[in-house]
Amino acid sequence: MHITRKHALLVAALGALTLVLLSGAGASGCDNSKGGTGQGGTQVGATHLACVTKVIKKVQRIGRSRTMEAETNSSCDTPPIAHVVLITLAYHPDITNGKGKAPDFVTMGTKFCNAKPVPGIDTPCHVTLEGVCHVGIWRITVLITGTSPNGTPFSFPLPKARGGGAKTKITSCA
């Protein structure tokens, strides 16, 4: 069997694409392996991170009110086709149920922001929940979805090691 140069290049390209997809770098358009705190983003190429989303304000109480807030920032070198940040705030009482295990978190509110980040300008997503303060442990979870500049859809939670799932202890709501 005679293999032409075009066939050899095609086989090499398919092999490289298979390796990229198996490594996870191109399957969802996101890269959860970048360092730093609170970052997750979409990749344009193998080494270029197009967008970075990070938690810039963990769950906190506003002043002496019963209002809770949290915030993320997204910045992009290359604007995605679509970019949605979904922030969920949840809490559980700072107690155990007798078995040494804390109770499950209760979702207190969710907000989504679908503003497409513009290169060079941070795009915030700020959630404010009025009248929901409870003494206990609060957590922010962040889901990022959209379509990368090359048309690849992506959806992933902001990694816990980098800000997603960050917990805060609230000791007073009075």
Rounded CA separation 48/1 (Å):
40
Structure confidence at residue 79 (pLDDT): 87
pTM: 0.70
Tokens encoding 154: 């992506």
Of the chain, the end-to-end C-alpha distance in Å amounts to 81
- pLDDT tens readout for residues 42-59: 444 444 557 889 999 999
Structure confidence at residue 105 (pLDDT): 92
Rounded CA separation 156/3 (Å):
41
Strand partners, 143: 86, 157
Q: Are 34 and 47 in contact (CB under 8 A)?
A: no
If one counts every other C-beta atom within 10 angstroms of the C-beta of residue 60, the result is: 15
Low-confidence residues of the chain: pLDDT under 50: 1-40, 42-47
Structure confidence at residue 94 (pLDDT): 78
Structure confidence at residue 143 (pLDDT): 95
Token pair 């390209």 in the structure block, residue: 13
Structure confidence at residue 172 (pLDDT): 92
| Phi–psi pair at 94, nearest 5 degrees | -85, 65
Nearest by Cα to 71 from 85, 50, 91: 85
- pLDDT tens readout for residues 97-110: 666 677 789 999 99
Which domains are present in the chain? 29-170 (2.60.40.10)
